[in-house]
Amino acid sequence: MGLLFINACYREGSRTRRLAEHFVNQYQGDVKEICIGDLEVCALDRKHLEIYNKAVREHTFTDPMFGYAKEFGEADEILIAAPFWNYSIPAALHAYLELVCTQGITFDIQADGQYVSMCRGKKLTYVTTAGGYIPEEDHGFGYIKSLAEIFWNIQDVRYYKAEGLDIVGADVEGALRQALKTSGTDIISGAAETTAGV
194 has pLDDT over 60: no
The average pLDDT across 113-141 equals: 93
% of the chain beyond a pLDDT of 90: 79
Superfamily of domain 3-183: Flavodoxin domain (3.40.50.360)
The average pLDDT across 169-183 equals: 84
Higher pLDDT, 152 or 40: 152
Query: What is the predicted pLDDT for the residue at 4?
Result: 98
Higher pLDDT, 195 or 127: 127
The ranges assigned to domains in the chain are: 3-183
Query: What is the predicted pLDDT for the residue at 196?
Result: 38
- Confidence band for 184, pLDDT divided at 50, 70 and 90: very low
Q: Determine the Cα–Cα distance for residues 97 and 72; give it in Å rounded to an integer.
A: 10
Q: Which residues pair with 31 in a beta bridge?
A: 3
Please give the single-letter amino acid code of residue 142. Answer: G
Cα 41–Cα 93–Cα 179 angle in degrees, nearest 5: 155
- Using one digit for the tens of pLDDT, what is the confidence trace for 81-120? 999 998 999 999 999 999 999 999 999 999 999 999 999 9
- Confidence band for 185, pLDDT divided at 50, 70 and 90: very low
**CB count, 10 Å around CB of 46?**
6
- Confidence band for 182, pLDDT divided at 50, 70 and 90: low
Q: What is the DSSP string of the chain?
A: --EEEEE---STT-HHHHHHHHHHHH--S-EEEEEGGG-------HHHHHHHHHHHHHT---SGGGHHHHHHHH-SEEEEE---BTTB--HHHHHHHHHHS-BTTTEEE-TTS-EEE-----EEEEEEE-SSPPPSS-HHHHHHHHIIIIIS---EEEEEEE--TTSTT--HHHHHHHHTGGGT-----SS--SSS--
Please give the single-letter amino acid code of residue 125. Answer: T
Cβ contact 167:8 at 8 Å: no
